[in-house]
Amino acid sequence: MIMFKELKEINSCPSPFQLYTAEELWTNEHTSKKMLEYHLNESIDVASWNKSFIERSVRWIISHFNVNDNTEIADFGCGPGLYTNRLAARGAKVTGIDFSENSLNYAKQVAAEKNLNVNYILMNYLDFETANRFDLIMMIMCDFCVLSPEQRKKMLLKFKSLLKPDGSLLLDVYSLVGFEQKEESAIYEWNQLNGFWSPEDYYCFVNTFKYDKEKVILDKYTIVEESRKRVIYNWLQYYSDESLAKEFKANGFAVEHVFSDVSGKAFAADAEEMAIIAKTI
């Protein structure tokens, strides 16, 4: 009976964005080191876009936004500085905000080695405040999608207050094409992802839930170790270009351009991601 109740709880489906555990993933000493390894793997698109894409993306950002020595940029969720350090190397005045200490330490180390002046701030970007104003605010790798509707509203209001009058917001999101490709599932593995969740032995239950009305996907990880049990909720919001424009308009932004990604690739109906440039209304 006890095992039945445990399995029922493990396989239970919460309401969309009911629980938020992002800090457990990004600030836990073990998992944050593992996430940094994914960030720095130049051949895969897991925690960061792959190296060749980032290089192409940075070139486009510099060209499209005319980045120069006077350009002030803020990167929300900057991770190990894969964008911030490259933009600073082109002369931009860059601020990077992230709550992963391991990632920021790496970013700072690279910046120091290359003699780059980047203002790195260890903080949950939901709580970030400053008197500075920016020409460009970025949130890349679909970070906007992990936030609840209330958190997204808070971020858009924050972005609006932090942009200069003619400043721009650049971010990417997952599209409904990606949502339709997702399927609900339940799997059970020993030592899932080769020790990603813990240095100790563990069993991991992974439940993927699909919320058709809200266009939300949840990957729910229940990690069972000898001495404890943890549950990690990885939420992802998916958008059409219309639903994204509607949400932004409701929070004081107009979407000016839609692309397939943050390298400026022309928008395609079959793209699994979208990138947008928005300005305040």
Per-residue pLDDT at 262 exceeds 80: yes
User: Across residues 149-170, what is the average pLDDT?
Assistant: 98
pLDDT of residue 181: 95
Q: Which amino acid is at 161?
A: S
pLDDT of residue 47: 44
24/224 Cα distance (integer angstroms): 15
The model's confidence at residue 22, banded by pLDDT at 50, 70 and 90, is confident
The class of domain 29-174+240-280 in CATH terms is: alpha beta
User: Across residues 176-181, what is the average pLDDT?
Assistant: 96
Higher-scoring residue by pLDDT: 194, 114: 114
* Number of Cβ within a 10 Å radius of residue 1: 5
pLDDT of residue 32: 79
* Beta strand residue intervals within 44-197, DSSP E: 72-76, 93-98, 118-122, 134-139, 163-175, 185-190
Per-residue pLDDT at 194 exceeds 70: yes
pLDDT of residue 51: 84
Percent of the chain topping pLDDT 70? 96
Q: Name the residue with tokens 């051949």.
A: 43
Per-residue pLDDT at 40 exceeds 90: no
State the chain's mean pLDDT as an integer: 93
pLDDT of residue 90: 94
Per-residue pLDDT at 48 exceeds 70: no
pLDDT of residue 154: 97
Whole-angstrom CA distances from 37 to 208, 231, 233 are: 24, 22, 21
> Which one, of 117, 80, 71, 82, lies nearest residue 98 by Cα?
80
Can you give the residue ranges of every domain in the chain? 2-11+178-236, 29-174+240-280
Higher-scoring residue by pLDDT: 255, 193: 255
Residue 255 host element (H or E)? strand 253-259
Beta-bridge mates of residue 277: 170, 257
Q: Are 145 and 173 in contact (CB under 8 A)?
A: yes
pLDDT of residue 265: 96
**Is 133 exposed, middle or buried, given 0-12, 13-18 or 19+ CB atoms closer than 10 A?**
middle
Q: Are 140 and 235 in contact (CB under 8 A)?
A: no
209/206 Cα distance (integer angstroms): 10
* Number of Cβ within a 10 Å radius of residue 135: 20
pLDDT of residue 65: 98
pLDDT of residue 270: 94
pLDDT of residue 167: 98
pLDDT of residue 35: 82
pLDDT of residue 243: 97
267/258 Cα distance (integer angstroms): 6
Per-residue pLDDT at 246 exceeds 60: yes
